[in-house]
Structure 1
């Protein structure tokens, strides 16, 4: 007999157990969704309705009644964008755009930054406000930026607003990317809604590869390294040697990449299976030979959004070199603040902004002299650039990960003043499996892109039955190695 209370407990929102791509509940959710979605696949209205309903339920399972914020945001920006487009008065268009920006950023600011500024006011002894301790709605940073890009693009006459509210709600709530991105632009997504749903072998192979790769990155690499090594280091760096701390930083560089890119890969794979192509969000960023290249490869949807809707409107490189460097710094400061209400994130953004400005000076200098070195000297310099860039990014990750500035400086202090390289054998014996997983992760990351394409092509050649077997076997293996308690994704907090 069915236990109704147990069933309701599973189906209703649980604050301590939100739905995750790597949770058991999600596999049942996705199987049910896919069966119904395939059943209505010939009807555009049916696909939109099914996808939207499942997406809103997915969001409800992730953060409860905050699902209402997605619906309200969709209603507001759907109507404002249409008023902007069909109003001929330029001043009214601008006023409506400003209203959209204020409403979207105001909502984000209220939930994400109110307590941060209350803390500043209290620290300055200007008042003594009680923090609101608001629960941050999952995904609000991502769908806020999607709303803003949509209304701004409509205002610029780069796209025409959609006529159907359900189409816009579908775009905004699309569950594969709702919680942690990528930040998808309406111009890339909405035209695909009306296209017939056709799933070919390439879609199956590409989607399967992305889902398997994403789950592997998240569960086998990120969660394992985090639970068995890195979390101990960052809990109290002062208790560990400098060698342990340095390896912990390397481990965190893998964790944040595999965690976030793993979820992005799964989002792209699920989207591909349902007839939608989302632009990639990562491109082997630790292969970058300079910081400018890194930001072309890391969180591509955010860096391109900041470029198009912040850096260029600030003036970009059109108002002189000094202004360009200031614009880069401001853009990355705001990008850091987007990640969270913390001085650590602001400092992290400032370091990247300053590095981008310095790298721009270097690139201009090389350009003025006809380019960089070639031949073996160029190869050596490129390798050196990759090593330097990786370590600069790792240094910045310390402040991104550490709970406080004190913790960050404590870790740096251990690396500089208490390295103790002689403990390496004892450390290896204690964390053998972790270090081998880290080595595997670095090897996989630095494999050439053609290896990925070969794997995708191999999966696309499999018959449907074989594809199902591959997925079932992989999920079974995943269950054997995954932790009993799913690790919360890092970017869920943003």
Structure 2
């Protein structure tokens, strides 16, 4: 009973993480009750909303207030947008929704980034003060919240984008507003995908809220398979190789050879895929067990044949969100916009100043301004510029979404350059239309290596940390001891090899395995569950490994 009390009450020592037994006890209890209410639509929504709030409270404590604020704000704005007869007023209301949501996100996620950048630009020494916490403590007469730092609420990047999509989709007349704030709260806070995605579009999920629930044998088998697959990805292909190899290398890259650092980067590509896609697999499986379908978030991304293809396969819910709510509205691949030109000019100045000096920033900005002026007189140059500027903006914003640091901006920018470069390379590529297996393997390998090495900026703790990695790679490969490294970490590398082989298996093979699992009887399913549980138990670390995307 004490453990149940700990599971259903807030405690930093007992977080509800998919890879811990506490979560599965929690889910078993709430699923048993769900089985008695799922056919009563209003009660079902209320129950899942309450459970989702409890889940978030277990994860983030009183930051649940931010989630509730976002829910109430966008519920009533959505109604106002739908009921307004004035297009101008509708646009104003949509703008309010976007501004309020993004301001809240920026306050919690980017306060340090903006403050540090301002201090660097103007040589000031301002410090971040959590005025919201200060006001809350004064209003409540307590000192519960820390005022000298701002803590990022878990999942705020994900549910912020969901609530924005709701307001925009109503404005676009893709959906009608929900009549019940309980139903809307359920959409915003649905616990399987609340803290790390996938990002759910209102137009995709809202129609499911009032539907009849009918969980078939195929749904149950598919859901169970997704959960088991997600656990294997997270605990074996992510946590095990991180704890037993990669974290050691990344903590002090200068203590290891360049070869070892490179192998750690290849390991990190598997880790982050196993970690993030493992979470979304489990989330999709849990939702399906309750009768709801979440969007696919990964499609074998390391089978991508170019950088653009990769981003159509990786974190699909974010990539498609940025495409539909940012890239296309600012002009897509046809037109630049005032936003595009202002953004690229300001960003050029800030980026150059951050990594060079004021003089270089002025020269770079003048160059960008001159380019923009030239496009006014050259339709051909304008065509090339407008085709690509919005891609770069989208990737830079996507990089910044992942983390409040210039290294994430660089990571996003490198991926943008990769996409743009390929658009021109394919015009002269000798193997662009080749169906030969070696041409396809070459394109996949080249893309995979590019994606892996740009992730140095994603994984590195700081620019100095990244520089130390590159220093080892450039000056200390130590090839003569490469076989020794492979032997010393042989278990890790075998698991990495298995992970990549299973990832690159043909779709037909993967579909066949899933189909066989769904068709199998309950005894076979139970045996598979036990085997997976034993594998996960053997790889379980004493210190739990939170999902990487919790920090975003």
For the criterion TM > 0.5, the same-fold answer is yes
Distance 1:466 1:187 in 2: 38
Q: Does 1:310 align with 2:326?
A: yes
What is the CA distance between 1:455 and its match in structure 2? 2.0
Matched, 1:404 2:462: yes
Render the CA deviation track for 1:336-377: whole Å, top value 9, x for unaligned.
Answer: 0001111110000010111111122234567xx9x933353x
1:36 paired residue among 25, 29, 33: 33
Alignment of 1:347-362 (within 5 A): 347-362=410-425
Deviation at 1:48, TM superposition (A): 1.1
Query: What is aligned with 2:284?
Result: 268
The more displaced of 260-269 and 158-167 is 158-167
Which residue of structure 2 lines up, in the alignment, with residue 192 of structure 1? 208
| Partner deviation per Cα, 1:82-134 (whole Å, 9 max, x = no partner) | 10111011111111111101100000000000111111222234532222321
157-166 or 384-393, which deviates more: 157-166
The change in CA–CA distance for 1:349 and 1:423 in structure 2 (over 3 A counts) is same
CA contact under 8 A between 2:237 and 2:271: conserved in structure 1?
yes
Correspondence for 2:107: 110
Equivalent residue for 1:339? 402
Q: 1:234-245 residue pairs with structure 2 within 5 A? A: 234-245=250-261
Which digits, 9 at most, give the CA deviation of each residue in 1:287-314, with x for residues without a partner? 1111011011000000001110111011
Q: Distance in 2 between matches of 1:477 and 1:75?
A: 43
- Of the candidates 140, 152, 156, which is equivalent to residue 136 of structure 1? 152
Q: Is 1:373 matched up with 2:370?
A: no
Aligned twin of 2:359: none
Unpaired runs of at least 5, structure 1: none
- Are 1:20 and 2:17 matched, yes or no? yes
- Are 2:49 and 2:186, in contact at CA under 8 Å, matched by a contact in 1? yes
SS at match of 2:238: helix
What are the equivalent positions in structure 2 for 1:174-189 lying under 5 Å apart?
Answer: 174-189=190-205
Could you tell me how far apart the structure 1 residues matched to 2:150 and 2:60 are?
Answer: 13
- C-alpha distance in structure 2 between counterparts of 1:448 and 1:372, whole Å: 21
- d(CA) in 1 for partners of 2:50, 2:250: 40
Worse-matched range after superposition: 66-75 or 135-144: 66-75
SS at match of 2:509: helix
Residue in 2 aligned with 1:329?
392
> What's 2:87 paired with?
90
Match of 1:390 in 2: 448
Does the 8 A contact of 1:22 with 1:215 survive in 2? Answer: yes
Equivalences for residues 157-236 of structure 1 within 5 A: 157-236=173-252
Counterparts of 1:354 and 1:292, CA distance in 2? 10
Aligned partner (choices 268, 273, 285) of residue 257 of structure 1: 273
Q: Which shows bigger deviation, 86-95 or 39-48?
A: 39-48
**Does the CA-based 8 Å contact 1:205-1:458 persist in structure 2?**
no
SS at 2:154 equivalent: coil
Q: How many residues align?
A: 486
> Is the CA contact (8 Å cut-off) linking 1:209 and 1:455 kept in structure 2?
no
Distance 2:439 2:478 in 1: 30
Distance 1:431 1:101 in 2: 49
Structure 2 residue 491 is the aligned partner of structure 1 residue 433: yes
C-alpha change, 1:90 and 1:409, in structure 2 (3 Å) is: same
Residue aligning to 2:169: 153
Which stretch has the larger CA shift, 299-308 or 428-437? 428-437
Residue in 2 that maps onto 1:297: 313
Residues 143-168 of structure 1: CA distance to partner in whole angstroms, max 9, x if unpaired? 00111111111111122111111111
Decide whether the 8 Å contact of 1:245 with 1:411 is kept in 2: yes
CA deviation after TM superposition for structure 1 residue 412, in Å: 1.7
TM-score (norm 1): 0.95
Decide which moves more: 192-201 or 239-248.
192-201
Q: Is 1:127–2:127 an aligned residue pair?
A: no
Q: Distance in 1 between matches of 2:435 and 2:333?
A: 31
Which residue does 2:367 correspond to in 1? Answer: none
What is the root-mean-square deviation in Å for CA atoms of aligned residues? Answer: 1.8
For residue 453 of structure 1, what is the aligned residue in structure 2?
A: 511
Aligned with 2:110: secondary structure? helix
CA drift of 1:457 comes to: 1.5
Structure 2: how far apart are the matches of 1:333 and 1:274? Answer: 37
Deviation at 1:16, TM superposition (A): 5.3
